[in-house]
Amino acid sequence: MNQLPSSSQKHTLHFNKLQKRIRHNTGRAIADFNMIEDGDKVMVCLSGGKDSYTMLDVLLHMQKVAPISFSIIAVNLDQKQPGFPEHILPEYLTKLGVDFEVVEEDTYSIVIDKVPEGKTTCALCSRLRRGILYNTATRLKATKIALGHHRDDMLETLFLNMFNGGQLKSMPPKLVSDDGKQMVIRPLAYCAEQDIATYSQHLEFPIIPCNLCGSQENLQRKVIKGMLQDWQQRFPGRIESMTKALQNVVPSHLADNSQFDFVGLKTQSTPFENGDIGFDPPEMTTLDKATLDTTALNTTALNTTALDKTVPLTITNI
């Protein structure tokens, strides 16, 4: 008689599947966007949150198994927030045996001084932090800057830009800095936030909360996050579909003249790529045919006189 797996065995099996999924998704993103190349020095930006800890953990694994050679240096920016536990990250990274550097810059005082009370601090804080990290990467001769943004961050940014900025713009998996000198990568671009949260809890990373921005309950990003979570609960698979849309853009079906030449658009005698399919014959899949065959069988009990009186369908008001 086969013995049923224990609760501990089920837990281990679940974690192994989760770990495999995160590693697979990270590896796929790195390969799809050529994020890391042979000889790269990757500066992993470590904030002390679940995302950056997970990113570091997976990249350290990739470093061991990848067919290319690359080095890693973890960098933390100590922004001098009151009560920041300065000892946690150095102790954790020393235990791992990872090269690291803690950069100390008092951006906290600048943000508190410049941003009116009650206003969100994220915009100024991120600009200051980005500039410091770019300078640090230059000094360390890092060829890539790895950030811990994940799939959900990318979707939230897409909606934030649409709702508040009037732009169809998200977080790209890979980008060059404004001055053209730094390459930024997001290895977790295909990873779900819930997977990362579960993974982080299982491995018991020493999480450091951000008291500067994390306490701002009125952040628009939190509103968008709640909207997406609600959609996922009511319509499972919607997040995955929207993520796929980020990689399946059709400029001819939007309204941006800079991305598609609507002004110069002309008719032609040959099929037009991504043209309107309203006048094309329908393509019937095997499933469609099977459905129709089943429907036909079910109509045998119908009155044949009624079938004879069927009126052809016409489409008006095109």
Mention every residue, 6+ apart, whose C-beta is less than 8 A from residue 283: none
- pLDDT of residue 170 exceeding 70: yes
- The verdict on residue 35 lying in a domain is yes
- The verdict on residue 288 lying in a domain is no
Q: What is the mean pLDDT of the chain?
A: 85
- The verdict on residue 180 lying in a domain is yes
User: Pick from 116, 109, 50: which is nearest to 79 by CA?
Assistant: 109
**pLDDT for the residue 318:** 32
State the total domains in the chain.
Answer: 1
Contacts of 155-159 with C-beta under 8 Å, sequence gap 24+, read 155/228, 155/239, 155/242, 155/243, 155/246, 156/221, 156/224, 156/225, 156/228, 158/242, 158/246, 159/224, 159/227, 159/228
What phi and psi values does residue 72 have, to the nearest 5 degrees?
Answer: -130, 135
214 versus 228: which is more confidently predicted?
Answer: 228
Within 10 angstroms of residue 231's Cβ, the number of other Cβ atoms is 14
Distance CA 74, CA 59 (A): 11
- The verdict on residue 112 lying in a domain is yes
pTM attached to this predicted model? 0.81
Average pLDDT over residues 295-303: 44
**pLDDT for the residue 243:** 95
Do the beta carbons of residue 79 and residue 85 sit within 8 Å? no
**pLDDT for the residue 275:** 75
**Polymer length of the chain:** 318
Tell the residue number behind the tokens 């000198």, with chain if given.
181
**pLDDT for the residue 281:** 59
**pLDDT for the residue 4:** 60
C-alpha dihedral (12, 59, 184, 44), degrees to nearest 10 = 100
**pLDDT for the residue 312:** 41
Distance CA 246, CA 45 (A): 25
**pLDDT for the residue 210:** 67
- The verdict on residue 24 lying in a domain is yes
**pLDDT for the residue 305:** 43
Name the least confident of 116-125, 142-151, 161-170.
116-125
- Confidence band for 284, pLDDT divided at 50, 70 and 90: low
Distance CA 148, CA 49 (A): 9
Average pLDDT over residues 234-252: 94
**pLDDT for the residue 222:** 87
Count Cα atoms within 13 angstroms, Cβ side, for 45. Answer: 23
**pLDDT for the residue 278:** 62
Give the model confidence (pLDDT) of 21-51 as tens digits: 999 999 999 999 999 999 999 999 999 999 9
| 3-class DSSP state of 175 | strand
Give the model confidence (pLDDT) of 75-101 as tens digits: 999 888 888 899 999 999 999 999 999
The domain spanning residue 158 has which CATH number? 3.40.50.620
- The verdict on residue 279 lying in a domain is no
Domain that holds residue 51: 13-250
| 3-class DSSP state of 252 | helix
> Which span out of 121-135, 146-160, 207-221 was modeled with the highest average pLDDT?
146-160
- The verdict on residue 102 lying in a domain is yes
CB burial readout 205-218, b (16+ within 10 A) else e: beebeeebeeeeee
Distance CA 87, CA 108 (A): 18
- The verdict on residue 258 lying in a domain is no
